[in-house]
């Protein structure tokens, strides 16, 4: 089982490297990530959250209704000027949920585990939110970076407790 990294682990602050090798090891790793996301009841999981600094994330915004998205080397190719508030949480910061303001819709280009390019057009709602949150992880950005310093200061005690979960 893959081990989750929590707030305070330096890997969560690193800009992840592009995936270059689309081999069997990668497919196996993607399968493990999907399994870990399901086990944690997560909407998304980025590779840095399990200590692997690669540009790779999985998302299931359908509650298991459809196959999860495998996003390798994802890029936001379009986002709306219109933004919205949406409640976010993160497996690396259990117990914290915050309303975050981000673009309402966006389109993302990515590769799948076979290296094939595909585009998710005009994602909205939970999928849009999960895409932005997970792509942030690949750039070392956490959702708490999007709130005011005052709001963040109020989380200090909770974040300290969470960081102590890192083995
Ligand atoms: Ni997260």
The separation between CA 150 and the C-alpha centre of its own chain, rounded to angstroms, equals: 24
20, 82, 116, 134: which one is catalytic?
Answer: 134
Distance separating alpha carbons of residues 54 and 47, to the nearest angstrom: 6
pLDDT of residue 61: 93
pTM above the 0.85 mark?
yes
Beta strands in the chain (DSSP E): 44-46, 56-59, 69-79, 83-88, 98-103, 106-111, 117-123
Tell me, what's the pLDDT at 63?
A: 85
Residue-wise pLDDT tens for the chain (167 aa)? 689 999 999 999 999 999 999 999 999 999 999 999 999 999 999 999 999 999 999 999 988 888 999 999 999 999 999 999 999 999 999 999 999 999 999 999 999 999 999 999 999 999 999 999 999 999 999 999 999 999 999 999 999 999 999 97
The secondary structure of residue 42, as a DSSP letter, is -
Q: Check if 113 is active-site.
A: no
Q: Ligand 1 centroid to 57 CA: how many Å?
A: 10
Q: Return the structure tokens found at 28.
A: 């196996």
| 117 Cα–ligand 1 center, Å | 24
């Amino acid at each position: 089982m893959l081990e989750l990294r929590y707030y305070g682990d330096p890997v969560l602050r690193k800009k992840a490297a592009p995936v270059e090798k689309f081999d069997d090891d990668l497919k196996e790793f993607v399968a493990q990530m999907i399994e870990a996301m399901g086990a944690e009841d997560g909407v998304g999981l980025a590779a840095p959250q399990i200590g692997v600094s690669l540009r790779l994330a999985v998302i299931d915004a359908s509650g298991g209704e459809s196959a999860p998205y495998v996003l390798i080397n994802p890029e936001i190719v379009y986002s709306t000027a219109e933004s919205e508030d949406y409640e976010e949480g993160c497996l690396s910061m259990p117990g914290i949920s915050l309303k975050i303001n981000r673009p309402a819709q966006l389109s993302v280009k990515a590769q799948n585990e076979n290296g094939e390019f595909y585009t998710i057009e005009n994602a909205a709602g939970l999928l849009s939110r999960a895409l932005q949150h997970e792509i942030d992880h690949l750039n070392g950005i956490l959702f708490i970076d999007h709130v005011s310093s005052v709001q963040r200061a109020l989380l200090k005690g909770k974040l300290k407790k969470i960081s102590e979960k890192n083995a």
